[in-house]
Chain A
Amino acid sequence: GTDTLSLVSLCSPTVVELNHNLTSVIPESALLIIIGWILGGIIYGADKMQTFTLTPTVFFFYLLPQVILDAGYFMPNKLFFSNMGAILVYAVIGTCWNAATVGLGLWGCWLGGAMGDIDIGLLQFLLFGSLIAAVDPVAVIAVFEEVHVNEVLFIMVFGESLLNDGVTVVLFNVFDAFVSLGGAEIDAVEIIKGIISFFVVAFGGSLVGIIFALLISLLTRCTKNIQIIEPGFIFILGYLSYLTAEMLSLSAILSIVFCGICCQKYINANMDERSVTTVRYVMKVLANGSETIIFVFLGISAIDPAVWVWNTGFILLTLLFIFVFRFIGVFLLTWILNKYRLVPLEFIDQVVMSYGGLRGAVAYGLVAMLDENKFKEKNLMVSTTLIVVYFTVMLQGITMKPLVTWLKVKRAAVTELTLAEKIQNRTFDHMLVAIEDISGQIGHNYMRDKWHNFEERWLCWFLMKPSARKSRDYIFNIFHQLNLKDAMSYVKEGERRGSLAFVRNETKADVDFNKKFRASFSEIMPDIMADNMGPDHVPLSSILQDIVPSVCLDMHEQDLTMRESEDFNAHHLLQQHLYRGRKQHRHRYSRSHLETNRDENEVQEIFQRTMRSRLESFKSAKMGVAPAKKIQTKHQKKDKPQKMPNGNSSDKSKNHPYGDKDFEFSEGDCGSGGEAAGDLFPMRAYRVEAGIVNPAFMAEMDPMDNMQQIPHVALLPQTLNSFDT
């Protein structure tokens, strides 16, 4: 029954994905709701009653946790915490304001007779207000997915939607208790108890989350030998944090959010690369799946005449109030906040923030939990909630993108920062801290720096594996990436040049890859060399073989051993952390797109740059080799996996000097073993002094060392193939 339905609803995204044009106009969530309606209609037609609804238990215990864990785990921490003050203001004060105004507004209108004769009271209105007031994280993600607004704006709305759970839970429980007590019993003591319970619930929930984060981090620190079950722990413990908080009557959402936020850094550092990948993918799958099911069920639940009670006044007034009071609330709070912020929030951002206050499944879940006996008008509230959800998700969702475009909202920066910008950012941070120190003031930067130092000294020591601690520095990571790219560009260049380019005898800078490094590499990274399956289901070893054997460079024995240890460590670390450096500045949160290292522009730019300079520096009168013109290669990324086994097939673009042949060797070239390499590929030497024109790019021995490492597979196909004129 329910299972089949869930499976069916999971298939709906695929249907939806088939037409991307459709989803760019109508957000996926809206389409899913429509599918839900259709399905609900079918079921109702078959059973004459609605057998499937979104029950609160299923929703709160089986569907919501993974969505929130996903949100926490992929949260851009730096952005989140630097805007924490503003986010908290919106989440706490904003939600209270919304709840109060909607509740009181509706009550006033009821007193005035706008809703006719319904059995309801002030407290019930307030309760309804509190559950309809909260901005919903699932809906926000779903709608903002398509609209890439600038990161500050996004984090405001998103952060608010996550943190307001603390308030919502408290208000809901408080008013529920008040309704049970009856109006007469409420006095100041009860109200004070309510306020205190807010602090307990919110901070208690966060604390539970943080404790579990510590647990997870410690656990991953010790799981070196049982890497295969690492991912499992993350999910189990994450879910446990949710359940524990729920059990203690604290805010479960806050708990799981902070669990995800706090542990992400440490588990990413401690766990093996493949575990990290597993966690990321599974997290996305679960979250996507849950979200899909949630929206479909939201649609299905509507096709049930039993719940529908129509009261024009109530419904229309609710819609009006939540819309209007949201705008008023946001503008008011922003006006206050802007006095204290360095970067004030602009008018247009505020409009989008107000418009983006979407309500969703959480509100529905809460309203479904109401007791019919206490709340005579429960069905009315359920109907209204459903209509509110549909209105916000569908109408506001569809119009969000045109609105954003029309208002010319600042969009997310698409291009990666240049290297110089990254360095300057670092410089800024240190500089600002220094100036604050010199001026003796304790400012924002000072606190941040102090926390940073504390964290580096104590937390990382406690929670991170020793090996993970070494290569954490951000700039260090940049260096490794550069070396990696350098290395690959050398290899590619070597292939392109053919036998002439790198011939060189004087310093015998030839490394015999196969003989020396294949062996030693196997010791250090046995798991890589084994028959593992790479991400595209191509055996890793074959991919590596294709790349590796083309370069044969011998080094002086002594140079080798000296560099070997240091560089192998460095390169092993590099291998472990290839995802990290590049992702530092990606603040875009997306439900369905995992940010892999596929930034064509960056890779391309650096490649071309490196290539150009290398070629220029290798130009030499002696050799009589003219520097290459611009390198032209265009590949379809998707073709790569199929091309691997048979090198020359399905190559769409024929006019490339670089062609597939260079990297995707046909069987003849690469051969199945190392022994072919020696014959087919001439020794490539490394020229140190030939015609170097650009001193900014001294050809050094160091980059050549990097040839020894085996580039991570995930990085490789895109890097090598995303070459454009």
Chain B
Amino acid sequence: MYLSVLDSRQSLFCSSVSFEQIGILHKRFKQLSHNEDTLRRDDLNTIPDLSCNPIRTQIIEAFFDKRNFHQNGEGTVQEISFEEFLVVMSHFRPPALDMTEEQREIIRREKLRFLFNMHDTDNDGTITLEEYRHVVEELLSRSGALGKETAKGIADAAMLEVASISMGHMEPDEFYEGITFEHFLKILKDIEIETRMNIRFLNMDTTNLCK
């Protein structure tokens, strides 16, 4: 089981996921899927701690989104194997300390791509206003009815901001389609995502598997 994962994803895992962690995640996978080979949405929905998380739907969807499997697929699936589970989890590995600038950049793009995919639900390459509104709504979903109004206002303002940053001064009859991936990168370039979007446990004991 582990070997096949390693073979096909060697480049992905070479950097910093250790054997032990794969073992830990495998155990968890089995636990969530009730000892089956595939995981379904409902299995993730039943995690009790997740229920109070405002964006849980988006996160769960991310696990079943083929774009995150690094196989150039599109659309969603109903169930995932451990391999795919691991691939999605690997988005949260931190960069190893000895990485070059280019490698860091690659990892950055990968993580940002994950985020982008989470927001761009119809996979047209841009985050439109509707999609962005949805994102903000989810964030505020714990605030009840007032949340919807608020979300619209904020999403609108944020969109405007992005437009002004990405496109500069717009002519009166220009139309801002939506946030493309490049714009997304540009807006978030100051957030050091490679250091922020990590899970600590993946940082333990980084033994390099490929050398």
Q: Is A715 an interface residue (CB 8 A)?
A: no
CA distance A342 to B197 in the complex (A): 10
Q: Is A191 an interface residue (CB 8 A)?
A: no
CA distance A668 to B8 in the complex (A): 79
Give every chain A residue within 8 A of B197 (Cβ-Cβ). Answer: 428, 431-432
CA distance A419 to B28 in the complex (A): 36
Q: Is A498 an interface residue (CB 8 A)?
A: no
Binds A, one of B12-20, B53-61, B100-108: B53-61
CA distance A443 to B199 in the complex (A): 8
Q: Is B153 an interface residue (CB 8 A)?
A: yes
Give every chain A residue within 8 A of B160 (Cβ-Cβ). Answer: 609-610, 613, 696-697
Give every chain A residue within 8 A of B143 (Cβ-Cβ). Answer: 473, 476
Q: Is B140 an interface residue (CB 8 A)?
A: yes
CA distance A556 to B206 in the complex (A): 66
In contact, A475 and B150 (Cβ under 8 angstroms): yes
In contact, A419 and B195 (Cβ under 8 angstroms): no
Q: Is A19 an interface residue (CB 8 A)?
A: no
In contact, A444 and B53 (Cβ under 8 angstroms): no
Q: Which of A475, A630, A693 contacts B154 (CB 8 A)?
A: A475
Q: Is A631 an interface residue (CB 8 A)?
A: no
Give every chain A residue within 8 A of B154 (Cβ-Cβ). Answer: 419, 423, 475, 478-479, 482
Give every chain B residue within 8 A of A459 (Cβ-Cβ). Answer: none
What is the 8 Å Cβ interface bit string for chain B, positions 182-210, against chain A (1 contact, 0 not)? 00000110110001111111010000000
What is the 8 Å Cβ interface bit string for chain A, positions 448-472, against chain B (1 contact, 0 not)? 0000010000000000000000000
In contact, A693 and B28 (Cβ under 8 angstroms): no
B198 to chain A, nearest CB (A): 6
Q: Is B37 an interface residue (CB 8 A)?
A: no
What is the 8 Å Cβ interface bit string for chain B, positions 86-115, against chain A (1 contact, 0 not)? 000100101001000000000000000001
CA distance A527 to B135 in the complex (A): 39
Give every chain A residue within 8 A of B63 (Cβ-Cβ). Answer: 438
In contact, A434 and B136 (Cβ under 8 angstroms): no
Q: Is A268 an interface residue (CB 8 A)?
A: no
In contact, A694 and B176 (Cβ under 8 angstroms): yes
What is the 8 Å Cβ interface bit string for chain B, positions 168-186, against chain A (1 contact, 0 not)? 0110111110000000000
In contact, A475 and B140 (Cβ under 8 angstroms): yes
Give every chain A residue within 8 A of B54 (Cβ-Cβ). Answer: 430
B164 to chain A, nearest CB (A): 5
Interface size on A, residues (CB 8 A): 61
In contact, B140 and A476 (Cβ under 8 angstroms): yes
Q: Is A437 an interface residue (CB 8 A)?
A: yes
CA distance A291 to B73 in the complex (A): 64
Q: Which of B31, B129, B187 contacts A421 (CB 8 A)?
A: B187
List residues of B (27-65) whose CB comes within 8 Å of A's CBs.
28, 31-32, 44, 47, 49-50, 52-56, 59, 63
CA distance A428 to B154 in the complex (A): 17
In contact, B161 and A606 (Cβ under 8 angstroms): yes
In contact, B50 and A479 (Cβ under 8 angstroms): no
A81 to chain B, nearest CB (A): 16
Give every chain B residue within 8 A of A421 (Cβ-Cβ). Answer: 187-188, 190-191
In contact, A434 and B50 (Cβ under 8 angstroms): yes
CA distance A609 to B168 in the complex (A): 10
CA distance A435 to B139 in the complex (A): 16
* A424-B89 CB under 8 A given contacts A430-B54, A619-B172, A696-B163: no
* A609-B164 CB under 8 A given contacts A434-B55, A434-B59: yes
Whose C-beta in chain A lies nearest to the C-beta of B203? A342
CA distance A434 to B143 in the complex (A): 19
Q: Is A344 an interface residue (CB 8 A)?
A: yes
List residues of A (121-178) whose CB comes within 8 Å of B's CBs.
none
Give every chain A residue within 8 A of B56 (Cβ-Cβ). Answer: 434
* A423-B55 CB under 8 A given contacts A418-B161, A438-B44: no
Give every chain A residue within 8 A of B140 (Cβ-Cβ). Answer: 473, 475-476
Q: Is B122 an interface residue (CB 8 A)?
A: no
Q: Is A695 an interface residue (CB 8 A)?
A: yes
B19 to chain A, nearest CB (A): 16
B40 to chain A, nearest CB (A): 13
In contact, A420 and B201 (Cβ under 8 angstroms): no
Give every chain B residue within 8 A of A613 (Cβ-Cβ). Answer: 160
Give every chain B residue within 8 A of A435 (Cβ-Cβ). Answer: 59, 89, 92, 199
A596 to chain B, nearest CB (A): 22
Give every chain B residue within 8 A of A344 (Cβ-Cβ). Answer: 97
Q: Is B157 an interface residue (CB 8 A)?
A: yes
Give every chain B residue within 8 A of A610 (Cβ-Cβ). Answer: 157, 160
Q: Is B74 an interface residue (CB 8 A)?
A: no
Q: Is A554 an interface residue (CB 8 A)?
A: no
List residues of B (148-165) whose CB comes within 8 Å of A's CBs.
149-150, 153-154, 156-165
Q: Is A702 an interface residue (CB 8 A)?
A: yes
CA distance A615 to B53 in the complex (A): 39
Q: Is A436 an interface residue (CB 8 A)?
A: yes
* A433-B53 CB under 8 A given contacts A423-B154, A476-B140: yes
Whose C-beta in chain B lies nearest to the C-beta of A441? B201
In contact, A439 and B176 (Cβ under 8 angstroms): no
B156 to chain A, nearest CB (A): 6
CA distance A428 to B163 in the complex (A): 22
Give every chain B residue within 8 A of A570 (Cβ-Cβ). Answer: 146
In contact, B92 and A702 (Cβ under 8 angstroms): no
Q: Is B25 an interface residue (CB 8 A)?
A: yes
In contact, A482 and B139 (Cβ under 8 angstroms): no
* A420-B135 CB under 8 A given contacts A428-B196, A439-B25, A475-B150: no
B187 to chain A, nearest CB (A): 5
A458 to chain B, nearest CB (A): 15
Q: Is A408 an interface residue (CB 8 A)?
A: no
Q: Is A520 an interface residue (CB 8 A)?
A: no
A460 to chain B, nearest CB (A): 14
In contact, B153 and A482 (Cβ under 8 angstroms): yes
* A475-B187 CB under 8 A given contacts A428-B196, A482-B153, A482-B157: no
B54 to chain A, nearest CB (A): 6
Q: Is A698 an interface residue (CB 8 A)?
A: yes
* A426-B139 CB under 8 A given contacts A437-B47, A482-B153, A482-B154: yes
Give every chain A residue within 8 A of B163 (Cβ-Cβ). Answer: 696
* A476-B150 CB under 8 A given contacts A419-B158, A438-B50, A698-B156: yes
What is the 8 Å Cβ interface bit string for chain A, positions 607-639, against chain B (1 contact, 0 not)? 011101101100100000001001000000000
In contact, B200 and A693 (Cβ under 8 angstroms): no
CA distance A627 to B197 in the complex (A): 43
Q: Is A440 an interface residue (CB 8 A)?
A: yes
Q: Is A483 an interface residue (CB 8 A)?
A: yes
B196 to chain A, nearest CB (A): 6
CA distance A134 to B118 in the complex (A): 49
In contact, A424 and B191 (Cβ under 8 angstroms): yes
CA distance A443 to B28 in the complex (A): 15
In contact, A437 and B187 (Cβ under 8 angstroms): no
CA distance A101 to B45 in the complex (A): 56
In contact, B129 and A695 (Cβ under 8 angstroms): yes
CA distance A566 to B52 in the complex (A): 26
A130 to chain B, nearest CB (A): 35
Q: Give 5 closest A-B pairs by Cβ, nearest first.
A: A479-B150, A419-B158, A437-B49, A434-B59, A616-B172
Some 30 contacts from A to B, beta carbons below 8 A apart, are A342-B195, A343-B195, A417-B190, A418-B162, A418-B165, A418-B187, A419-B154, A419-B161, A423-B139, A423-B154, A424-B115, A424-B191, A428-B197, A434-B53, A434-B55, A436-B201, A437-B49, A440-B32, A441-B201, A445-B200, A476-B146, A479-B154, A482-B153, A482-B154, A608-B164, A609-B161, A612-B169, A613-B160, A693-B173, A694-B170
Q: Please give 13 more A-B residue pairs, beta carbons under 8 A apart, in addition to A475-B140, A695-B129, A696-B156.
A: A418-B161, A420-B187, A427-B115, A428-B197, A430-B53, A432-B197, A438-B47, A445-B199, A609-B160, A609-B161, A630-B169, A693-B173, A697-B160
